[in-house]
Chains A and B, each alone.
Chain A
Amino acid sequence: MMEKSWEPKILAFLCNWCSYAGADLAGTSRIQYPSNIRVIRVPCSGRINPLFILKALQSGVDGVLVSGCHPGDCHYLSGNYIGRRKSATLKCFLEFLGIEGGRVQFSWVSAAEGVKFSRVVQEVTEEVKKLGPLKKFKKSSWFGVQSSEKENE
Chain B
Amino acid sequence: MKFKLEKRDFKPFLQSLIDGYDLYAPVHLAEGVPVYRKMGRPDEVDLSLLNPQKSLKEVFFPQDEVMFRYEKVDQETQMVSTEEVKRERVVLGARPCDIEAISIIEEVFSGREYTDIYFLNKRKATMIIGMACHQPLPTCFCSSTGGGPFVRKGSDLFLIDLGEAYLVEILTEKGEAFKKNKFFKKTSAKNLQLAKELEEKASKKTDSTIPVKGIDQKLDQWVESPFWDRVHEKCISCRVCTYLCPTCHCFDIMDEALNEKGQRVRNWDSCLSEFYTLETSGHNPRATCRERTRQRLMHKFNYFPKVFDRIACVGCGRCILYCPVNFDIREVIKEINAK
Contact = CB atoms under 8 A, between A and B. Distances in A.
Contact of B265 (A144, A145, A147, A152): A147
A149 B263 contact: yes
Contact of A145 (B22, B66, B258, B263): B258
Residue of B59, B71, B258 with most chain A CB atoms under a 10 A cut-off: B258
B257 interface: yes
Interface string A124-153: 000000000000000001111111011011
A66 B256 CA distance: 28
B218 interface: no
B257 A146 contact: yes
A152 B62 contact: yes
B62 A153 contact: yes
Interface string B54-75: 0000110011101001010000
B58 A152 contact: yes
Interface string B247-268: 0000000001111011101000
A147 to B, nearest CB: 4
B37 interface: yes
Contacts of A143: 69, 71, 258, 261-263
B24 interface: yes
B300 interface: no
A150 B62 CA distance: 10
A28 B216 CA distance: 77
B258 A146 contact: yes
B66 A144 contact: no
Contact of A152 (B63, B259, B263): B63
Nearest to A59: B258
Contacts of B256: 141, 146-147
B38 interface: yes
Contacts of A145: 258
Contacts, number: 36
Contacts of A153: 22, 24, 37-38, 59, 62
A145 B58 CA distance: 26
A152 B261 CA distance: 22
B27 to A, nearest CB: 12
Contacts of B38: 153
A147 B22 contact: no
Q: How large is the interface on B (under 10, 10 to 19, 20 to 34, 35 or more residues)?
A: 20 to 34
A141 B263 CA distance: 10
Contacts of B62: 152-153
Nearest to A152: B62
B78 to A, nearest CB: 13
A143 B62 CA distance: 21
Nearest to B22: A153
A54 B58 CA distance: 30
Contacts of B58: 152
B69 A144 contact: no
Nearest to A150: B64
A151 to B, nearest CB: 9
Given A143-B262, A143-B263, A149 B257 contact: no
Contact of B69 (A142, A146, A150): A142
A149 B262 contact: no
B257 to A, nearest CB: 7
Nearest to A153: B38
B63 A147 contact: no
Nearest to B71: A143
B107 to A, nearest CB: 24
B37 A149 contact: no
B24 A147 contact: no
B37 A147 contact: no
A149 B265 contact: yes
Nearest to B262: A143
A149 B62 CA distance: 11
Contacts of B37: 152-153
10 contacts: A143-B261, A144-B259, A146-B257, A147-B256, A149-B265, A152-B62, A153-B22, A153-B24, A153-B38, A153-B59
Interface of B: 22, 24, 37-38, 58-59, 62-64, 66, 69, 71, 256-259, 261-263, 265
Given A144-B261, A150-B64, 11 more contacts: A141-B256, A142-B261, A142-B263, A143-B69, A143-B262, A144-B258, A145-B258, A147-B256, A147-B265, A153-B24, A153-B38
Q: Which 10 A-B pairs have the closest CB atoms?
A: A143-B261, A147-B256, A153-B38, A146-B258, A149-B66, A150-B64, A146-B256, A144-B258, A143-B258, A152-B62
